[in-house]
Amino acid sequence: MSRLYAFLGAVLAVLLILPLFLDKYTLGILIMIFFYAYLGQSWNILTGYTGHISLGHALYVGLGAYTSTFLAQKYGVSPWIGMWLGALTAMAVGLVIGYLGFRFGLKGVYFVILTIAFAEITRLIISHIEALGGFSGIFLDFKPGFWNFQFRGNLAYYYISLGFMCFAAVVVRVLEVSRLGRFMVAVREDEEAAQALGVDSLRCSMIAIALSAFMTALAGTFYANYIYYLHPDQIMGMGLSIELILRPIVGGLGTVLGPILGSFILTPLSEIARSYFSKGGLEGLHLILYGLLAILVVLFMRRGVLHYLRRAVKPILRPGRDG
Amino acid sequence: MALAGQLLIQGLLMGGIYGLIAVGLSLIFGVMGVINFAHGPMIVVGMYAAYWILTALGLDPYLSLVIVAGVMFLLGYLIQFSVINRILDFPEAMQVVPLVSVGLILENALLLFFGPDHHSPETALGLASFQLGPVMVDLSRLLAFGLAIVVTLAIFLFLKKSDLGKAIRAAADNRVGAQLVGIKVDRINNISFGLGAATTGAAGALLLPLMPVSPYLGHDFTMIAFVVVILGGMGNLVGALVGGLILGVAESGSTLFLQPTLKHVVSFGILVLIMLFKPQGLFAGSK
């Protein structure tokens, strides 16, 4: 295992000095890689570890983005503070959804539909609130400065998003090896058996959705202050909810490195394909390729790319033990 | 009063199409136990197919309905054959992804070929309407309602009376048992998904004269279909039809006190409440 940590440390060191050699466009792609890795990691806590499938995670991204932006525009609250309030809002909503879902025993597909329904209801309501920009969304004024969470160029965003990604990975790793994390996996594998052994599955599930919603919302604030534009259909729509689950699924659900690996595979593909195809008037093609890839991965590499990669490099890391 | 009557009629007429949409979803769920997350995008594909036939060949959607339904049957058959038959034994999380992906592919294929703009083509009936007592009835809505009911009934009859229909019901009831008496369940799956897809095609053709078509309508249709099916009970076809009518009236009635763009909030709200308190649907046990 220590070789793996050494390898990851080396990768991190490279990522830390990499901006010295890259232009703005390439930095932008890396930022999106980190951003989606972070989102995928946050979703991974609920779905990968605890087994409750959420297809409405854009809801939390949107809540984070709208809360911090609204507070910044209306009351001049720094997004650095607003992001935590947004995360708390998202956490509260997540707890409500979780309580309804888990307490009333909505399993599998029913829970999926519940998460979609809440995301869609919230999106529609926000689209009708004038103070939040309504259908046309909110444009953020560009006022660069640390306090405003806005910066010239991509360098600061690069380090912030890198920090986000590492933070999420550490949180999930700590969770994974903790007692709580083991309980969550037990709930995922067989909820009734876990309960029979004394695991409080409701409590585990509630903690998972709270943490997941909280972390997801933080990314919303980042996104708002990186793009300077909030549109309810984009930041709370089904499209984003689908986007953000594909990376962990491709990389490997329920693993720390899966969402990161998935993002490093899929995000450059999608970013490059998007700009390449839309130049030729072929917008949408990158999402078609994307969908095909997701289907192929599920059909032929059900456990995610990481699983196969791990098997390939296992002899190097530590023979005879699966990380 | 006239307004309420108007809304009631409009709701019922729309509800017929909702019912048709939901019958397809319910059939697919009943036979295979998967939820077709690509249902909405498939309806939109049907709308575009009807749109294309109308603009290229000048054939009205009410006539091209049969062609569109046939094309969608083939598409559905193909999707089932290539993807869904392979994922039936997967855990639910893994079933959701391919179906969502199929929806994503269809939606963006439409975007690629037809562009993001809204199209509302002239159809033969256009905005023709007639007066029925105090209420105005759109001819195109009435015709859509009538045809939706006819298609739905045809599917009922097919399932009840024909040999193939009986085989489908047998497979839905007990997969292993059906296999034991010599039914090729894989083929039944393909046909069932094809049939479900054909209903989306028919619904798409019927919807084309009623609303402008754009690639992004799919999610809303998917959600509507979910609401109706959950109202009526998963796998319950009669329930789906009645649920469609209820939802049509509820949405239409909600415009009395809400903006029309907010009407889906009402339906999603109903969805959540039904799932929490009556997860087997309003007509549980009357399958």
pLDDT tens-digit map of A85-139: 999 999 999 999 999 999 988 888 889 989 999 999 999 999 988 888 888 888 8
- Residues in A closer than 8 angstroms to B87, CB to CB, are 298-299
> What's the predicted TM-score (pTM) here?
0.88
Q: Using only the alpha carbons of chain B, give its radius of gyration.
A: 18
Q: Is the predicted pLDDT of residue B287 greater than 50, yes or no?
A: no
Contacts of A120 in chain B (CB under 8 A): 219, 223, 264, 268
Which of B92, B102, B109 minimises the CB distance to A108? Answer: B92
Distance from CA of B220 to the nearest CA of A (A): 9
d(CA B146, CA B10): 13
* AA identity, residue B262: L
Cβ–Cβ of B112/A285 closer than 8 Å?
yes
**By the 8 A CB rule, do B166 and B154 touch?**
no
Q: Environment class of residue B127 by beta-carbon count within 10 Å: exposed (0-12), middle (13-18) or buried (19+)?
A: exposed
Q: Pick the residue from chain B with its C-alpha nearest to A250.
A: B97
Closest-CA residue in chain A for B259? A128
Nearest in space to B225 (alpha carbons), one of B19, B83, B5, B55: B19
Q: With beta carbons under 8 A apart, name residues in chain B contacting A276.
A: none
Least confident of A140-149, B99-108, B148-157: A140-149
- Per-residue confidence at A219, pLDDT binned at 50, 70, 90? very high
Residues 6+ apart with CB under 8 A from B147: B62, B65, B202, B206
Note the pLDDT tens digit of each residue in A240-298. 998 888 889 888 888 999 999 999 988 888 888 777 777 666 777 878 888 888 888 88
| Distance (Å, whole) CA A290 – CA A301 | 15
Chain-chain contact of B102 with A110 (C-beta, under 8 angstroms): no
Helix (H, G, I), strand (E, B) or coil at B182: coil
**What CATH number should be reported for the domain holding residue A301?**
1.10.3470
Q: What is the mean pLDDT of residues B16-26?
A: 89
- 8 Å CB contact of B90 and A298: yes
Determine the Cα–Cα distance for residues A259 and A281; give it in Å rounded to an integer: 31
- How far apart (Å, rounded) are the C-alpha atoms in residues A103 and A202? 7
Mean predicted lDDT score pLDDT of chain B: 87
Distance of CA A23 to the CA centre of its chain: 25
What residue of B is the nearest CA neighbor of A128? Answer: B262
The Cβ of residue A12 has, within 10 Å, a number of other Cβ atoms equal to: 13
Cross-chain residue pair B97–A114, CB shorter than 8 Å: no
Question: Looking at the partner chain, which of B94, B105, B109 has a beta carbon nearest the beta carbon of A302?
Answer: B94
Select from A51, A298, A48 the least CA-distant residue to B88: A298
Helix (H, G, I), strand (E, B) or coil at A296: helix
Question: CA–CA separation, A204 vs A266, rounded Å?
Answer: 31
Question: Cβ neighbours of residue A26 under 8 Å, at least 6 residues apart?
Answer: none
Contact B35 A299 (CB under 8 A): no
Note the pLDDT of residue A318.
58
Which of the residues B34, B275, B277, B280 would you substitute to probe the A interface, choosing the one with the greatest number of A C-beta atoms within 10 Å? Answer: B275
Confirm whether A227 is domain-assigned: yes
Highest mean pLDDT among A27-41, B30-44, B82-96, B140-154: A27-41
Tokens of A153: 């160029």
Q: Name chain B contacts of A125, Cβ cutoff 8 Å.
A: 262, 265
- Number of A:B CB contacts under 8 A? 116
Distance from CA of A246 to the nearest CA of B (A): 8
* Tens-place pLDDT, residues A242-257: 888 888 988 888 899 9
Instruction: List B138's β-bridge partners, or say none.
Output: B129
Contacts of A116 in chain B (CB under 8 A): 223, 226
Is B92 in Cβ contact with A288 (below 8 Å)? no
Count up the domains in chain A and report the number: 1
* Residue B107: per-residue pLDDT: 92
- Size of chain A in residues: 323
Contacts of A308 (CB under 8 A, 6+ apart): A301
Cα gap B243→B198, rounded to integer Å: 20
CB contact under 8 A, A242 and B100: yes
Report chain B residues whose CB lies below 8 A from the CB of A282.
112
Domain hosting residue A28, numbered range: 2-317
